[in-house]
Amino acid sequence: MRKNIRPVLLVLLLAALPAYAQFEGVLEMKITMAGKDGAAGGATMTVAVAKAGTRSEMNMQMGGTGMKVVVLQKTATPNTVYRLNDANQTYTEMDLAKMPALAGQQPAGKEYAVEKLGQETILGYQTQHVLVKEKNPGPGGATTAEMWTAKDILDYATFSKMQVRQPKGGGQEAMVKALKDAGADGLPLKSISTTPEGTKVTMEVLKVDKQSLPASTFEIPAGYTKSAGGLADMMGGMTGPQADDAKKKMDEAQQKMQEALKNMSPEQRAMMEKMMKQRNGGTQ
């Protein structure tokens, strides 16, 4: 289950990519995930979109552990994603160009078949119901996607940018073309994706609120400090018994480290601090 959901988590964590102001307002969404083995998880997400950029807040549940993830991106700096940690009042920067999971080349020449299944009204918007399948998938099979797209909010090209960056010629570009050619372009107000392994991911837009948003929505809050990230920073957004136990052990380890530093000579302490800085990428 974990292997199958990993790409979905990347989609959620990078949901705040610029939407180029085709729509300004707030989208409220719900995502549910279910594996063939019965394991399940889900998330609720709020995405604010405007000319200045996008901001997404996701509350995710996996088993007994919860996690809050807030992601911010400014249109002026599209390659930089900011992850806000409200619990610690810190933020970390992610350079999309340097992330291997996103920079890896997608197979060129992908093609999709789009089957129209009818039209339905969702949240007052007329949608085109389609089933999308990859033509000539590899030996492992391919993911199928059932979507209800509404062209009056965002086009699919913009929606794909809100999910994950794909290199030119990748699968997302082929999907955009296939939907346009089929006359089914638009924002999916609902989608059901099923992987060859049996993992099913359902995404539903629960509310579309068109409104003007203040520029401060897309700024790092005052008082937040830059963090090098890492496990300690990520734990700040986690809740639940497992997360509480992990935080307790981490606090105990940090306390022991502080006590050990007190007993070191100035030279040993300086060397240890230098090693810790190098481990954290040269920043504190």
- The continuous run of DSSP H or E covering 159 comes out as helix 156-163
Per-residue pLDDT of 68-112, as tens digits, reads 888 888 888 878 889 898 888 899 888 877 765 444 444 556 789
Q: What is the mean pLDDT of the chain?
A: 75
Q: Looking at 91-100, 178-187, 236-245, which range is the least confident one? A: 236-245
Residue of higher predicted confidence among 123 and 22? 123
How much is the average pLDDT of 3-32? Answer: 60
**Cβ atoms 215, 51 nearer than 8 A:** no
- Name the pairing type of β-strands 225-226 and 90-95: parallel
Per-residue pLDDT of 245-255, as tens digits, reads 655 655 565 56
Q: Looking at 44-48, 137-141, 254-258, which range is the least confident one? A: 254-258
Query: Which residues touch 148 (CB under 8 Å, ≥6 apart)?
Result: 120, 122, 127, 128, 129, 130, 188, 189, 190, 191
Answer yes or no: pTM beyond 0.75: no
Q: Which residue type occupies 162?
A: M
Q: Domain 2-218 carries which CATH code?
A: 2.50.20
Per-residue pLDDT of 205-215, as tens digits, reads 999 999 999 98
Query: Which residues touch 274 (CB under 8 Å, ≥6 apart)?
Result: none
**Cβ atoms 70, 81 nearer than 8 A:** no
Q: Which residue type occupies 54?
A: T
The alpha carbon of 33 is separated from its chain's Cα centroid by a whole number of angstroms, namely: 14
**Cβ atoms 126, 119 nearer than 8 A:** yes
How far is 230 from 143, CA to CA, in rounded Å? 32
Q: Which residue type occupies 280?
A: N
- Burial of 265-283, coded b for 16+ CB within 10 Å and e otherwise, reads eeeeeeeeeeeeeeeeeee
Q: Looking at 11-20, 57-66, 149-158, 199-208, which range is the least confident one? A: 11-20
- For the chain, percent of residues with pLDDT exceeding 90: 26
How much is the average pLDDT of 272-282? Answer: 49
Residue of higher predicted confidence among 1 and 203? 203
Neighbours of 187 (CB within 10 A): 26
Pick from 239, 232, 246, 248: nearest CA to 64: 239
- For the chain, percent of residues with pLDDT exceeding 70: 63
Q: Domain spans of the chain? A: 2-218, 241-284
How much is the average pLDDT of 11-37? Answer: 68
Neighbours of 141 (CB within 10 A): 11
